[in-house]
Amino acid sequence: MHWYEIKLGGKGYTNSGLSQVCRPDRVSDIAKYLEQVGKNGVIARGSGSSYADQTVNADGAVMMSGRLDCIRSFDEKTGELICEPGVTLKTITEIFAPRGFMLSVVSGSGQHTLGAAIAANMVGQNAHKRMSLAKYVNWIDVVLADGEIVRASHTENEELFKAVVGGQGLIGFIALISVTLLKRPEENVLVERRRINNLNDLMEALKSARKNADFCSVWLDTSAPADSVGRSILTTASFTKEPCGEPLFSLPKIKWHLPHFALYLASLPVFKNLRYRLSGSISKKVEPYESFLYLSDKVKVLSQKGVYQLRISFSEAEGPQAIRRILTELSQTRISACRAFLVLTKEDTLSYLGSALRGYTISLDFIRRRGLEDFLKHLIMVAGEHNGCVSLQNDALLEPRHLFVMYKNLEKFIKVRETYDPQRKFDSDFGRRLFLKEKKNEQ
Ligand SMILES: Cc1cc2nc3c(=O)[nH]c(=O)nc-3n(C[C@H](O)[C@H](O)[C@H](O)COP(=O)(O)OP(=O)(O)OC[C@H]3O[C@@H](n4cnc5c(N)ncnc54)[C@H](O)[C@@H]3O)c2cc1C
């Protein structure tokens, strides 16, 4: 049993802490490590790409899942994959896409581990069709605080399942997963990119995308002037039998490593304006499904200055008004996001801490600067006024009082946590920020 002292942080560089870190090699090691955990408990960590304090446990322990990356079995007939939590989404795609299978969730990056994708209840560009990954999880084996391994599924230990899915590692450690991979309908997708002038046009286009497209995401120009709020580029994609056109030439596939300055550039109004205008009014392209995936992995920005992400879900009824209000405030205050996306979502009834509603999920990244936290807290309040739900996945700023308003199943989550881990052996800076008992009593 080896422990190392390492300073770990979130991907957004807003939070970090010095922790005792272990990397179990086998599932059977997890319980042995848990016995040695002391003050401040332990939190699971996959690839560590949550932005804030989700996998930070200052003065506590962190258990990395990276070495637990064995694929135990795969059934070609049913698509059932049984594997350990440290297997990444990209690995699953690389192995099983050539055999005609796909994961139910298409996320921005393939670096995420499967265990974390379940613990963070990941949703992607096909969330309006498939919703979160959890729907396709057959069962998970969870190592609880006392070292016991318990199987949980939609029908067995259902409450535990609903708390672990989306539970951000605060209930137990997911040690083994059975998930159904879907048959990929075709090898290629027809990707269509369309420039949209304003929010009304965008909402109209999204109605049709919800019905017809397999995948859908929107890049938003957060610095558009008030009369063209909602100016955006809509990307939709659907499986197609059409073959890919052979390119006359292709650039070598390289991963771009850009300095922090690139993020700063991306948030400038002039850059956004240029991106919008250069995109062309409409473009269509057939490409292999695999190359359409994981766009975020093609560019890595090396920034340690701090990035906050605010991801909010709104219902279909409230969405247009709420999104208009947020975009108008961004335009008026000139606080431009360096990255702003919108996806369509279906209601998420699976996880007690699931945030997605049937409607829209807007995701905004901002470079840290003076006064930004207060502005983001104001946007959280705006979200609350429109019955929105701020996702916990990358959040750095929510407070317990927000949670009680936004998460209708919060009490159920707390009850499961008190049942399975009354001593809070599984804990993190995130857990202490949002679930302090004293704070709960203050509500
Ligand atoms: C570039 C980029 C693109 C993204 N795109 C999307 C997207 O399209 N859709 C989306 O929903 N999110 C997206 N995210 C957010 C990200 O998906 C989630 O934060 C995801 O969980 C990160 O995976 P990870 O392996 O890095 O997890 P970590 O950051 O390491 O962990 C995430 C959470 O899962 C818990 N956890 C990890 N492993 C286990 C385990 N074995 N048992 C129990 N709990 C565990 C951790 O404690 C933590 O709370 C994106 C983030 C980035 C940086």
Q: Is 240 in the pocket of ligand 1 (CB under 6 A)?
A: no
pLDDT, residue 71, reads 98
Q: CATH code at 417? A: 3.30.43
The total number of structural domains that make up the chain: 3
Of all protein residues, the one whose alpha carbon is nearest to atom 36 of ligand 1 is 116
Q: Name the residue of 14, 16, 45 whose CB sits within 8 Å of the most ligand 1 atoms, as the mutation to test its pocket.
A: 45
Domain span at residue 170? 71-183
Q: Which of 151, 168, 183 is the last residue of a domain?
A: 183
Do 226 and 113 share a structural domain? no
pLDDT, residue 244, reads 87
CA–centroid distance, 112 to ligand 1, in Å, is 6
pLDDT, residue 249, reads 63
Do 92 and 32 share a structural domain? no
Contacts of 392 (CB under 8 A, 6+ apart): 54, 120, 166, 168, 353, 355, 398, 430, 434
Do 164 and 194 share a structural domain? no
Q: Which atom of ligand 1 is nearest to the CA of 122?
A: 11
Q: What tokens appear for 190 in the block? A: 């027809």
Tell me, yes or no, if the pTM score tops 0.85: yes
Do 259 and 393 share a structural domain? yes
Do 129 and 28 share a structural domain? no
d(CA 339, CA 361): 14
d(CA 313, CA 294): 22
Is position 167 within any domain? yes
pLDDT, residue 81, reads 98
Do 425 and 396 share a structural domain? no
pLDDT, residue 379, reads 97
d(CA 420, CA 140): 16
Among 92, 97, 174, 181, CA closest to 136:
181
Is position 440 within any domain? no
Give CA separation, 262 vs 243, 271, 301, 416, in Å: 35, 10, 7, 44
CA–centroid distance, 281 to ligand 1, in Å, is 34
Do 207 and 141 share a structural domain? no
Is position 435 within any domain? no
Q: Which of 165, 183, 201 is the last residue of a domain?
A: 183
Residue count of the chain, please give it.
443
Q: Is 44 in the pocket of ligand 1 (CB under 6 A)?
A: yes
Among 122, 96, 99, 121, CA closest to 109:
122
pLDDT, residue 156, reads 98
Do 175 and 199 share a structural domain? no
Is position 442 within any domain? no
Is position 267 within any domain? yes
Of all protein residues, the one whose alpha carbon is nearest to atom 4 of ligand 1 is 108
Give me the DSSP letters along 9-33: E-TTSS-EEEEEEE--SSHHHHHHH
CA–centroid distance, 179 to ligand 1, in Å, is 17
Do 199 and 164 share a structural domain? no
Q: Which of 131, 157, 183 is the last residue of a domain?
A: 183
Q: Is 50 in the pocket of ligand 1 (CB under 6 A)?
A: yes
Q: Is 309 in the pocket of ligand 1 (CB under 6 A)?
A: no
Q: Which atom of ligand 1 is nearest to the CA of 175?
A: 41
d(CA 233, CA 185): 26
CA–centroid distance, 289 to ligand 1, in Å, is 22
CA–centroid distance, 396 to ligand 1, in Å, is 14
Q: Which atom of ligand 1 is nearest to the CA of 117?
A: 21
pLDDT, residue 22, reads 98
CA–centroid distance, 433 to ligand 1, in Å, is 18
Of all protein residues, the one whose alpha carbon is nearest to atom 2 of ligand 1 is 109
pLDDT, residue 348, reads 79
Do 351 and 238 share a structural domain? yes
Is position 252 within any domain? yes
Do 386 and 255 share a structural domain? yes
Residue 440, SS3?
Answer: helix
pLDDT, residue 441, reads 45
Of all protein residues, the one whose alpha carbon is nearest to atom 11 of ligand 1 is 122
Q: Is 11 in the pocket of ligand 1 (CB under 6 A)?
A: yes
Q: Is 174 in the pocket of ligand 1 (CB under 6 A)?
A: yes
Do 125 and 110 share a structural domain? yes
Among 85, 69, 219, CA closest to 149:
85
Q: Is 393 in the pocket of ligand 1 (CB under 6 A)?
A: yes
Q: CATH code at 304? A: 3.40.462
Q: Which atom of ligand 1 is nearest to the CA of 142?
A: 42
Low pLDDT (below 70) residues in the chain: 246-254, 302, 437-443
Is position 384 within any domain? yes
Is position 436 within any domain? no
Q: CATH code at 80? A: 3.30.465.10
pLDDT, residue 39, reads 87
Of all protein residues, the one whose alpha carbon is nearest to atom 44 of ligand 1 is 169
